[in-house]
Chain A
Amino acid sequence: MYKTTKKALMVLIALLALVVPVFAGGASESGDYGEYTKLDSWLVDEPTTVTVLLSDSASQPIKNYAPAQQEIFRLTGIKLEYQVVPFASYDEKKNVLLATNNWPDVAYVRPADLPMYAPTGIFEPLLQYVNEETMPNFYRFWQQYDDMKNFLVDGELYAFPVVARDESANGFGPVIRMDLLKKHNIPVPETFEELLDVLDQLHQIYPDTIPFTGRKGTTQLLKTCSYMLGSGYGQNGLYYDHDLEQYVFGPATEEFKAVLSWLNEAYERGILDPDFATSTAEQMESKLSSGRALFFLDNSGFGVNYTKALNKIPGYEDAYFQIIPIPENEFGQRRAESYAKDLTDRFYVVNSSSKNKDAVIKLIDWLYSDYGSDISNYGIEGYSFEYNENGEPEFLLSYLEQFRDASPSSYYAVYEDLGITKLNFCLYACNTRTWFEIEKALGNWDWISDEYWNIVNNDDAYVPPKIAPSLTTEESERATDILMELTTVLEQEYNKYIMGLEPIDNWDSVIAHCEELGARELEDIYNTALARSMSV
């Protein structure tokens, strides 16, 4: 027995001895930039390494030393080293790194991080660099987009926003099984009332289906349809009303009754999914891509994927989902908010204690230039793209061919391989432009997608979202407190009205309660901040 124990211990020690040298020193990444020749275009005298904290997603993993990175080094002399964190864990990790001030030269952050961490001094103040001499390329955008002033925190700029290049923006929109409308000669609904009638009609023809489904419960339902129905919900009730040109706390308005009434009618007529309050994204996906559900009002781009899944089922070969133009609400308006078009919600902050600040600023400005954008969105000239007769970059079909059947899609595989576009370290970034180009070049572009983008791009109901003004620390704390109380009270109320357990007239008492809890003060905080940022 002793011998066996001894043997086991020896094995363990041997194993540890094997493992220690490999890991103890924090082994460096494999691969490197290799040989180099100094070019006139270099932004630095000697090769300089700039580290970047990035998040990647399952669809577009980010790797180091990708072709675009290599090309950036060749042209600028700056080696980009990425520290990549999986998308699902990014917030937790980033918060710890920022809180311990142990982060790379540059980090990808979300808008909410700016007021939270800027006062701590870990982010480099950037207004000092925003001028024609230091950052000519960024300065061009700074002058072009007045809304960038909303990014200021206490009058200072702490982050570089990613500017979208030729973006086609969709958004929440009504998507229906268009093949069924055609089959039964049902006209496309033009008002929200007609929409309910159409769904009711389909329900009568296909009684086993759920006409209208959704995901992530009641809040998501309100987020997606409130604005179209004449009120608004934003992320948590507070939204910017483009018609009134001010911030409004949606649930505390008369118009919100129209939203609840419409949903209540949908519920009582058996149109709305009975499980609407608990439905998950997976359940929605499952219902829509199996033919069990016929309509959704959410990110309208999902329809293309559901169509693809649906077409694989025998009997559904001709089925397809298509967006319809935004219907008119009971106030006679046709309105919807698209996703961010020019100014995205991606930001990069610079570490105030970075030793390479000068190189970082030069590199970022270079990435904002047209040429920098070509490299960070198309890769290497002659390898993955060429310039056409108009001087615009275009992918080479010979390069794209290898990704024809790639998973999850050709364009994500190209993005991953080259290390390009919005989800990579890219400041003037393509997303839909390159996506469409790749799909069209590879012949994956179908008439449904074409029709879809035609409808979206020609629907004048969509307006791009308003960039939220930055609040002072005091305002931010007060707003959070008020919102928390309002959310706690309201979340218990919505379902009662949607399910008809309370008559809609009683919503007046909810509005009164919201006002007691500070709904108007919340609106004032945001409207004051908006006025302040516009006057800078």
Chain B
Amino acid sequence: MRPTAATSTLAPASGSLGADTARLEGRDKVTGTARYATEQAHTPPGCAYAWPVPATVARGRVTAVDTAAALALPGVLAVLTPDTAPRLGHAEDPTLAVLQDHRVPHRGWFVALAVAETPEQARAAAGAVRISYAAEPHDVALTAGHPDGYVPETANGGEAGSSRRGDPEAAFDAAPVRIDAAYRVPPLHNHPMEPHAAFAHWDGDRAEHLTVYDSSQGANAVRTALAQLFGLAEGRITVISEHVGGGFGSKGTPRPHVVLAAMAARHTGRPVKLALPRRQLSAVVGHRAPTLHRLRLGAERDGTLVSVSHEVATHTSRIKEFVEQAAVPARVMYASPHSLTSHRVTPLDVPTPSWMRAPGEAPGMYALESAMDELAVELGMDPIDLRVRNEPVTEPGSGLPFSSRHLVECLREGARRFGWGDRDPRPGVRREGDLLTGTGVAAATYPVLVAPSTASATAHPGGTFTVRVNATDIGTGARTVLAQIAAGALGAALSAVRVEIGSTRLPAAPLAGGSSGTASWGWAVHEACAALVDRLADHHGALPPEGLTATADTTEAASAAPAFARHAFGAHFAEVQVDTVTGEVQVRRLLGVYAAGRILNPRTARSQFVGGMVMGLGMALTEHSTMDPAFGDFTEADLAMYHVPAHADVPDVDAHWIDEEDHYLNPMGSKGIGEIGIVGTPAAIGNAVHHATGVRLRHLPLTPDRVLPALA
């Protein structure tokens, strides 16, 4: 694929690539007609409802399940237990092996499932199931020096578990200016507004075909998992994820609810709806693992870094290794001859952690960018100048050249828009009554990821087109941007292009995750449309009634190892006020400036950037989960306890980007934009709190109970 070929075929017409284009499904969403996983237009006759029973011990075994009281309740169809549930095939992901044995690996693990005629009856039945356990002592407390900790070979994303360059310890010890600081990010929960939910039914006299509507970020992966678990050919399973109420990583892999729904439908012979109650989510859909960071920065007096060390301790569950790759950004960001990065993971009796928006980058850059701010203060240097001073020529960790890197431009453009030039660097001197105000800056980065995809494009006799690809629109605007890519490649009006996504009946495609969706799906759509244009050029006369179709498979092109380090970059700026009486921190302004390749739809892109920044605001100020040491439970299990930002928390949030041309990405020239917005925001806010108060707080979130004592 020649990267430049794409741009020449793109028409500048309204609705095409780069044009501000309204969401194609917008009307359905504002009128309430967009249907999510368990929202069938008419509840099918005989539809049953399932309600899971979570374990109430943190470690042990189920010794008995008494279902008599539950089964005696009106409307109850079945109670599935480890003894009675259908046997499943091998689960590649151990979190999907539900009701297959009696082991309880963590609190909240599903140990039974009630199925009844109505939601009320299912819930009552679940509450009436009596489980007996042989509880065992549990350990859920993460410490940096936990004796069970180890350095894994790889962390999430296949990144190396550790890295070393030069002699980082000696260089740090010899450096004239040193920062050695510990930061802590608590467990965090994705909490998409739509809880994980599925509707499953088996068709045919002998249950030949399974159809599942699942709230998922990638229906093909769900189908593959179900095929393995239920011993079916993939062709006998259809998974539909047409509208998805957010995911933020937690729906990126198949989750136990969809297995339970299919199991219950098989067992009862009924269509079954299963929507997880909000309070059950935190134990079974993944979470951002807590991370304990030690940052050591050694620098010359002019700010030149000589040693960068980022050591991370984190947890995983007993059943699956997931390692939040929080030290990886230190391999990308700043030049330094000596460097050490490492992850040390401890398996505990905790729920299995997983992806949450910008895994690795979000907590890692909080720590690194906070330490950079501490270094700037120590040096008496402007924090932007410090970052510019340490801008690398090649990627520090790999030595590869960057395909494009415009971090410095983002910092400078942000500084101009934010009014950074007028900033008085002295901390704790801007008082307005009880309020102290301050400003902070942090850099952001997110890798360019892409996965192979297939797609098809069909030209119809009437001059319209249909593009098919099993992409998922979790709120990103995927549907819309794919139509724009197709319109551009076809030289057609947007209104002439119909896009079908969200079903395994369509050409297979990877998940919406890793900010890779548009690149992966769009590449295949672009190729299919380009092939269709070629076919149409060779075609003479009227089109046949079924139209002309071309397909594409980007397996070869998209899996080629890049000869470049490819990342998006950004700069975040925050202004905060800190109430010295209550300890409350409020954000007054947030600004993000990004260099993320070509922006394909400014309207939906801005919403992605801003949305990431709002989640970063939550990470900085409101979001906090606690692993209770006595019960082995996340204490903040619902939206009353776990505080996602509300309207009143969120001020004007502004996102801009600089034009970035990069020919080493994909035919659209785009980088992923769904996650970078969260990355620098917490550090920018934390740095602003320091500027406001003169106090450096290193544990997120910066809630009044932490801020107020520090001000005293």
Say whether A and B bind each other. no
